[in-house]
Amino acid sequence: MTATATRVLVLNSGSSSVKYQLIDMNDGTRLAVGLVERIGEQTSRLAHTPLAAGGDKRETEGAIADHDAALKAVAAELAADGLGLDSPQLAAIGHRVVHGGLKFTEPTVIDDAVLKEIERLVPVAPLHNPANITGIRTAQAMRPDLPQVAVFDTAFHATMPEYAARYAIDVETADAHRIRRYGFHGTSHAYVSRKTAALLGKDPSEVNVIVLHLGNGASASAVAGGRCVDTSMGLTPLEGLVMGTRSGDIDPAVTFHLKRVAGMSTDEIDVLLNKKSGLIGLCGDNDMREIRRRIDEGDERARLAFDIYIHRLKKYIGAYSAVLGRVDAVAFTAGVGENAAPVREAAVAGLEEMGMAVDASLNAVRSDEPRLISPEYARVAVAVVPTDEELEIAQQTYALVNA
């Protein structure tokens, strides 16, 4: 890395998509952002926005066969703006890696041994880690000399005490198969809990925060003095809150029942609980905007789906209040948390005895900035804190390569 290398490319490789951002670490400026979707199909799409050049979004459609082709297409777009991967200003590539298991609790420079370990974790993250690995391999082939850093979704939750991380099942069986609660969205929970402390004018070590990351996937975490002490996702992202398409918590016996009585296969149950449950399973829509629109029109199914979603959210706010003992702030983030005022209002309604309340006019404000939405008198600060996982990945990557 040269002294002028201040840029980090962040890659988030999914099974059929790659999201990327090129960030200048001098001030966090986005130089370019983009997304490749539907990789492997005839109708792949690349949307690239060269923010540094002040250019408009460029969209190209047409078959992109695999991640290798996708990254080459991204590199070509960046090069067209003078931001190519061969630039000496590029300090590192930061990769989002979903599952770091017990081994990776910090951002890690990727070498062969690290890559092997990420591969060893595929059985506990079959939907995510393979795509992350493909992204890493492809990026390594393009710039073998450049540091590549893995930032793990699970890492922030590694501080959970053993009694929060263990399931109450036979210890030998659990250990033999690495079954425990790992938690996900950690990059977001880390970023948002720190930003919430800053919003309160405090150091993260001084505050206890409940972070509610409510996107299409959703998770809650209890963060005590900057350290995660509990989170709602578990071995996989299926546990916890009601999500866009995932059930969240259910009695595990539902799965035996579906197998024995409904004759469903393990894969069918997997698809049911991960893709056809949650809001979409309850009412046919997983977009909170559409659900609110239907509720406004008097749609009962949408209303019930919303009520189930809120009920679960409240249970976690209550549980994490008990876990933390003292709560200084509740922070809403991600697509739903940042944008859906009715969700925030309903989640906190009736919690005045717990010191939590939402001011209707503050809650109605739309902004990209972290902000308080609780009234002055409330003991607990309720906040909306936009998440920025890409910036967090870039910062962790840059800090590591400059360490």
Residue closer to ligand AMP (CB basis): 38 or 178: 38
Identify whether the C-beta of residue 225 lies closer than 8 Å to the C-beta of residue 327.
no
Residue 219 bridge partners (DSSP): 213
Residue 335 near ligand AMP by CB under 6 A: yes
| 24 sits near ligand AMP (criterion: CB under 6 A) | no
| Beta carbon nearer to ligand AMP, 286 or 363 | 286
The residue (of 23 and 334) whose beta carbon lies closer to ligand AMP is 334
Select the span of 86-94, 105-113, 136-144, 334-342 touching ligand AMP (CB under 6 A): 334-342
Q: What stretches of 51-124 show up as alpha helix (H) in DSSP?
A: 67-80, 112-120
CB of 324 to ligand AMP, least distance (A): 24
- Decide whether 78 or 310 has the Cβ nearer to ligand AMP: 310
Residue 249 near ligand AMP by CB under 6 A:
no
Paired residues of 211 in beta bridges? 221, 331
Per DSSP, the residues of 366-378 read: --SS-EE-S-TT-
Give the list of residues 6+ apart from residue 398 with CB closer than 8 angstroms, or none: 8, 25, 91, 92, 94
Indicate if the alpha-carbon torsion angle 156, 158, 161, 167 is positive or negative.
positive
Binds ligand AMP (CB under 6 A): choice among 336, 348, 351, 382: 336
- Single out the segment in contact with ligand AMP by CB under 6 A; choices: 35-43, 101-109, 145-153, 285-293: 285-293
- Using DSSP's 3-state secondary structure scheme, residue 356 falls into coil
Q: At what angle do helices 389-401 and 186-199 cross, to 10 degrees?
A: 100
215 or 240, CB closer to ligand AMP?
A: 215
Number of residues that bind ligand AMP (CB under 6 A): 12
Q: Is the CA virtual torsion 221, 222, 228, 230 positive or negative?
A: negative
Q: Is 153 an annotated catalytic residue?
A: yes
The H or E element containing residue 163 is: helix 162-165
Catalytic-role residue among 81, 153, 230, 388: 153
**Among residues 241, 340, 348, 380, the one that binds ligand AMP under rule CB under 6 A:** 340
CA distance 188 to 81: 30
| Of residues 192-231, those binding ligand AMP (CB under 6 A) | 215-216
Q: Is 287 in the site for ligand AMP (CB under 6 A)?
A: yes
Closest Cα partner for 154 from 228, 243, 240? 228
Decide if residue 17 touches ligand AMP (CB under 6 A). no
- Verify binding: residue 183, ligand AMP, rule CB under 6 A: no
In angstroms, what is the minimal distance from the CB of 244 to ligand AMP?
A: 5
Which residues in this chain contact ligand AMP in the complex, by CB under 6 A? 215-216, 244, 286-289, 334-336, 339-340
Active site residues: 153
